[in-house]
Chain A
């Protein structure tokens, strides 16, 4: 499970690679993962989530943390 701070760090470190996989937006939210509430990264995609990992790895000193990644199918945001 991850904290909000860890999820934000995971987004900072992995945003560009998630965009390359097809994410048009990248958020951080609290959601249920493996039966427990946790903060994690949400990748918004237009089509399927194939190729996306289930966790993002972050390193702080010697400690490595796995942050859950959720993919969500959603239309891209538009200027209003």
Chain B
């Protein structure tokens, strides 16, 4: 079995700067090694699908086989028959490079690796796309400003606003979320109004992970209804396989993806609650990371809302269908065509707040 040190030498050989590598090959490696290492180096450098290379324990048929491997991290798995021979990763490192001890290779799908900028954190304005959260959680994303009659609310997930249902009506919602420096009461911008309780079962029966919060007077005065970098949603639309989507979230900011499945079923573990089974979820290519929960997901072509992001894994990202969310919360999105009504409602609220405020002497 090849040692980690030996695999590291091969890794260095394949990934060091060209000049240094050429020198070292001239000195110690025969021509066959030079040729093989060049083809592997070309594979690493030129194949767009390979996003990284390293050393890890080899996994075969889902099980660790107690051997270290030279691991190629790829964006997606491509069937062998769809690859040119020169683009296929060999099962072992050629003997001319590894020596007599075979070094196995492994391929691990990690998805697209994106540079991660600073998270979206601010205290002013209170705007969809930025960090927010219940006082007892880390942080999620403010998804949208919504209306119920003339009342204005903030929309996000239950696990962002209601601590997955462990919170209670009136709990403080901090902006930014506690993990981003939000403290109570200084950063309290809203209080929990309503959440949809989970049915605690492994059966696929839950439809949504959503909650709304009522802005405080101070929160209300700071609201900007436009989703950061996206503007106002232009309505809602039913999800379709193949639809290109876009969202702005606290962690990965503006990202795009594609809907793969509109009736996805999954069991998700919520801390302090247990495993919850969901049905009819929208499963997409990966567009998110932890902290993006609550982000509104829009159809890229029309700018209409399609879902409320809530979960993810290396396999992809997932959102609740937005119409189901709005139905459960009994609210409407603030859209371009009802923005006038919102402006009036906000002005009225702000005037009322001003009237209530004690006069300075």
Contacts and interface: CB of A to CB of B under 8 A. Distances in A.
Interface of A: 4, 8, 11, 15-16, 19, 24-29, 32, 44, 47-49, 72-80
Interface in B248-288: 251, 260-261, 263-270, 277, 279, 283, 288
B229 interface: no
Nearest to B276: A79
A80 B263 contact: no
Given A27-B260, A28-B261, A79 B293 contact: yes
Interface string B193-214: 0000000001110000100000
B314 interface: yes
Q: For B265, B290, B312, which residue has the most chain A Cβ atoms within 10 angstroms?
A: B265
26 contacts: A11-B263, A15-B204, A15-B279, A16-B203, A19-B267, A24-B267, A25-B264, A25-B265, A25-B315, A27-B283, A32-B79, A73-B62, A74-B314, A74-B315, A76-B266, A76-B267, A76-B268, A77-B312, A77-B315, A78-B312, A78-B313, A79-B293, A80-B291, A80-B293, A80-B311, A80-B317
B268 A77 contact: yes
Complex A-B, nearest 10 residue pairs according to Cβ-Cβ distance, in ascending order:
A25-B266, A73-B62, A80-B293, A77-B311, A26-B265, A77-B313, A79-B159, A80-B290, A74-B315, A27-B261
Please classify how large the interface on chain B is, using the bins under 10, 10 to 19, 20 to 34, 35 or more.
35 or more
A47 B62 contact: yes
A28 B2 CA distance: 40
A77 to B, nearest CB: 4
Given A73-B62, A75-B314, A79-B311, A27 B267 contact: no
A72 B290 CA distance: 23
A78 B267 contact: no
Given A25-B266, A26-B204, A72-B315, 13 more contacts: A8-B263, A15-B279, A19-B202, A19-B277, A25-B265, A76-B267, A77-B312, A79-B270, A79-B310, A80-B251, A80-B291, A80-B310, A80-B317
B309 interface: yes
A48 B63 contact: yes
Contacts of B171: none
Contacts of A78: 268-269, 290, 311-313
A21 to B, nearest CB: 12
A16 B202 CA distance: 9
B232 to A, nearest CB: 24
